[in-house]
Amino acid sequence: MTSQLFQPFQLDDLTLHNRIVIAPMCQYSADNGSATDWHVMHLGQLALSGAALLILEATAVEPEGRISADDLGLWNDENEQALARVLAAVRKYSDMPIGMQLGHAGRKASSDAPWRGGKQLALDNRGWQTVAPSDIPFTNDQRKPTALDKAGLDRVRKAFADAAVRAARLGIDVIELHGAHGYLLHQFLSPLSNQRTDEYGGSLENRMRFPLEVFDAVRAVTPAGRPVGIRVSATDWAEGGWDLEGTVAFSQALKARGVSFIHVSTGGLASNQSIPVGPNYQVPFARAVKEATGVPTIAVGLITEAEQAEAIVATGDADMIGLARGILYDPRWPWHAAAQLGATVKAPPQYLRSQPSRYRNLFG
């Protein structure tokens, strides 16, 4: 049987060669938001992996929106020029489409890198005052964020659009908004973090308002035919939080606005979340969104085996699968999956001699 994982897929005007997406992975290796030589090495190897799409790590739309002081950003000319240099180096040897995840960390900003503990940075130690829908901290030991007023909302919305304009100039093939993992757009959606009493809080319609405005602003400045999608957390895994019902309603509203795909994850908003982690634990949420909306979906979460990924796509659970930590561990995962499933994968000519004799048709 022909592998469904290695069948092409169309996103607006972009044709993907297979259904394997490299999901965004924070590297905490930027210099004041600007990409560095680390990104040349990191993205360069992933761009030769045989996947269909490489999405850059969460890229902050303003300095206050960085998760850490070392996050990638796209808020000024220096950021844009640095990333242009990296992309030019990668594209010289790879024609893999490159996407960008635009995000704002909200109340989870001003944090240290994970290998340094990930704690919130003090204001006198590289930290800054965070912003959020409401002045509710992520954990009780953190300082309260500043609730965004109208001017703040206008600034952040414009920052997303301005970053999207820069992304278009860079030739980014796909835009993904970060509406998951407890960051700003997710914070507006969840009643646990959004306790506003104005038109941006309270009802589901009101809590969806700002994320939808951001999507509209980004879609409006992105060239026609270029995919614009979003990553969502389908549930907070916490009582009284954001849930699948809300996610479906949000996805339907996005569909009406022309969303190209929905990248379905879970969690990250509540410090008391209880997640039943296991293989495919997030896949049912992707299926539910796809069935309710018909919008193309990307499934993620402990997808590690070729047959597992094949089953997700072949049974219609999702249209694509996203790899993150798994492809850091095995940057040739798509090669190995293609060999196992009897499919072909694109490889650079410098590596053609590496094709094992038992997989003579691996490199198509």
Here the tokens at position 109 are: 């900003």
Residue 187's H or E segment, with its range, is helix 184-189
Of the candidates 231, 227, 215, 309, the one whose C-alpha atom is nearest the C-alpha of residue 264 is 231
Inter-residue long-range contacts of 279-285, CB under 8 Å, 24+ positions, other chains counted: 279/303, 279/304, 279/308, 280/308, 280/312, 282/234, 283/312, 283/317, 283/318, 284/317, 285/234, 285/235, 285/244, 285/247
Q: Under DSSP, is residue 53 helix (H, G, I), strand (E, B) or coil?
A: strand
What secondary structure letter does DSSP report for 31? B
Give the CA dihedral 116, 122, 126, 127, nearest 10 degrees. 110
Instruction: Give the separation between CA 285 and CA 194, rounded to whole angstroms.
Output: 23
Of the candidates 234, 359, 338, the one whose C-alpha atom is nearest the C-alpha of residue 287 is 234
Is the Cβ–Cβ distance between 166 and 90 less than 8 Å?
A: no
Instruction: Give the separation between CA 67 and CA 26, rounded to whole angstroms.
Output: 9
Residue 11's H or E segment, with its range, is strand 9-11
Is the Cβ–Cβ distance between 227 and 220 less than 8 Å?
A: no
Here the tokens at position 52 are: 């269909």
| Amino acid (one-letter) located at 20 | I
Give CA angle at 221 (216, 224), nearest 5°: 95
Active site residue 28: no
Give how far Cα 242 sits from Cα of 204, 245, 248, 250, Å. 10, 8, 11, 11
Q: Which of 183, 200, 281, 351 is catalytic?
A: 183
Here the tokens at position 246 are: 């809300």
The residues carrying an active-site annotation are: 183
